[in-house]
Structure 1
Amino acid sequence: MTQHTSELDQAIAQRLEPWTDRLGADRKAYFHHVLRVLRLADLLFARSGGPGEPPSAREEFRTAAVFHDLGIWAAGTFDYLEPSCALADDWLIAQRREDLTDVVGAMIRDHHRVRPAGSATDPTELFRRADLIDVTFGARRYGLPYSAYSALTRRYPDSGFHFKLVELTVRRALIHPLSPLPMMRW
Structure 2
Amino acid sequence: MSDTLADAIDALLAPWADAMGADRTAYTHHVLRVLELCDLVAPPGTPRPSERTEFLVAAAFHDLGIWSAGTFDYLPPSVALAETHLRDTDAAALIPTVTAMIEHHHKLRHAGAADDPVEIFRRADAIDVELALLGRFGVPRRTYRALTRRYPDAGFHKRLLALAGQRLRTHPTSPLPMLEW
TM-score (norm 1): 0.95
Shift of 1:51: 3.4
* Match status 1:40 vs 2:76: no
CA distance in structure 2 between the aligned counterparts of 1:83 and 1:76, rounded to whole angstroms: 10
CA distance in structure 2 between the aligned counterparts of 1:60 and 1:5, rounded to whole angstroms: 18
- Tell me, what secondary structure is at the counterpart of 2:132? coil
- Tell me, what secondary structure is at the counterpart of 2:179? coil
Aligned equivalent of 1:174:
169
1:94-146 deviation digits (Å, cap 9, x = unpaired) = 10100000000000000000110001110000000000000011112011100
Aligned equivalent of 1:138:
132
- Tell me, what secondary structure is at the counterpart of 2:160? helix
User: 1:87-166 maps to which residues of 2 (within 5 A)?
Assistant: 87-139=81-133, 140-166=135-161
1:62-102 deviation digits (Å, cap 9, x = unpaired) = 00000000001001111110100000000000101000000
Contact 1:112–1:185 (CA<8 Å) still a contact in 2? yes
Contact 2:31–2:60 (CA<8 Å) still a contact in 1? yes
Shift of 1:5: 5.8
CA distance in structure 1 between the aligned counterparts of 2:176 and 2:74, rounded to whole angstroms: 10
Contact 2:58–2:82 (CA<8 Å) still a contact in 1? yes
Q: 1:13 aligns with which of 10, 19, 23?
A: 10
Runs of 4+ in 1 over 4 A off after TM superposition: none
Aligned equivalent of 1:24:
21
Runs of 5+ in structure 1 lacking a partner? none
* Match status 1:65 vs 2:59: yes
**Identity across matched positions, percent:** 55
TM-score (norm 2): 0.97
1:30-67 deviation digits (Å, cap 9, x = unpaired) = 0000000000000112xx21332x10000000000000
Count of residues in correspondence between the two structures: 180
Runs of 5+ in structure 2 lacking a partner? none
CA distance in structure 1 between the aligned counterparts of 2:109 and 2:90, rounded to whole angstroms: 32
CA distance in structure 2 between the aligned counterparts of 1:22 and 1:99, rounded to whole angstroms: 28
